[in-house]
Amino acid sequence: GLGDVYKRQAIDTLHDVVDILPKNNKYTEYYLCTLHRPFNVDCKTTLHNILIKLNNLNKQVIIPAHPRLKNNITNTYSNIKFIEPLGYLDFISYIKHSHGVISDSGGVQCECAFLNIPLLTLRPTTEHLITLSLGNKLIDITQIGSNNFIRNKFQRPELWDGNASKRIVKIINQYHLDKSINLNHKSWTNLEAKNVTAYMKSKTLAEKSAWEFIENQKDGKKMELVVINPGPVFGPTLSGNLDGAS
């Protein structure tokens, strides 16, 4: 199967933009950091402890500050530069020209792996397991350090070839042509299946609630719901090793 559909499409986009990225002339020797998950930034003490560790790294740390993070900063940090959130191309450029990235993001794991930039993921788990063999290292706060980056050259996975979108279209067309396949709004992932994770369950329940809301509209109200359902939500599961970290 295509596996993680939305990740593969993001990889396709990186193929398109990697050669047209704007040059980052403001900063040269730096680590890039992004933090937005509640378990890292909602508690001011936890966030402060993270920022202290970042402040002690051997290069300046650039943080495009998520509003949730910005609202909970309680101190100043001489080795950290907080900047405004970046657009997509600028952000990818910042990754590409950094000496390493510290993040709790999901997408950043794939972007760093594609660009061969070492990454410390400040989370206990990942939904992008393949990146663990491509320079991504799961850490806790105590492991934030310049010496913990995995600095090797990795070969991109074969399916990260920039053609995932074409393969997706081909499969969709096959479903249209094969009349024996009948997937509809009732073809949900089986939540009792052994390989269904919390992530898949939460996505499925959210989509089912949206469908039920639309179906239960009365008094002549008409609404349309358009949803692009990834594999963890709709139809048979594509993989049994997805992680529930998101």
What torsion do the CA atoms of 217, 223, 226, 229 make, to the nearest 10 degrees?
0
Cα end-to-end distance, the chain, whole Å: 21
What local confidence, expressed as pLDDT, does residue 185 receive? 62
The per-residue pLDDT for 183 is: 64
pLDDT at 205 over 80: yes
Contact 107, 10 (CB under 8 A): yes
Q: Using pLDDT thresholds of 50, 70 and 90, give the confidence band for residue 235.
A: very low
pLDDT tens per residue, range 155-180 = 998 889 999 888 878 877 776 677 67
Q: What is the mean pLDDT of residues 27-53?
A: 95
Confidence of residue 216 (pLDDT cuts 50, 70, 90): confident
Q: What integer pLDDT is reported at residue 188 of this predicted model?
A: 76
d(CA 121, CA 138): 5
What pLDDT score does 168 carry?
A: 78
pLDDT in tens, 134-151: 999 999 999 999 999 998
pLDDT score of 228:
59
pTM of model > 0.85: no
- pLDDT mean across residues, the chain: 83
CA dihedral of residues 233, 236, 237, 240 (deg, nearest 10)? 150
- The arithmetic mean of pLDDT across residues 20-29, rounded, is 83
120 SS3 class: strand
Task: Decide: residue 18, CB within 10 A, 0-12 exposed, 13-18 middle, 19+ buried.
Answer: middle
Residue 99 pLDDT exceeds 70? yes
- pLDDT per residue over 120-130, tens digit each? 999 998 888 88
Q: Output the pLDDT for position 98.
A: 95
pLDDT, greater one: 15 or 171? 15
Cβ burial, residue 202 (10 Å; 0-12/13-18/19+): middle
At residue 246, the pLDDT reads 36
Q: What percent of the chain has pLDDT over 70?
A: 80
More confident residue, 165 or 36: 36
- Label residue 197 by pLDDT band (50, 70, 90): confident
**Are β-strands 60-64 and 80-83 bridged in parallel, bridged antiparallel, or unpaired?**
parallel
The per-residue pLDDT for 230 is: 53
Give residue 205's identity as a one-letter amino acid code. Answer: L
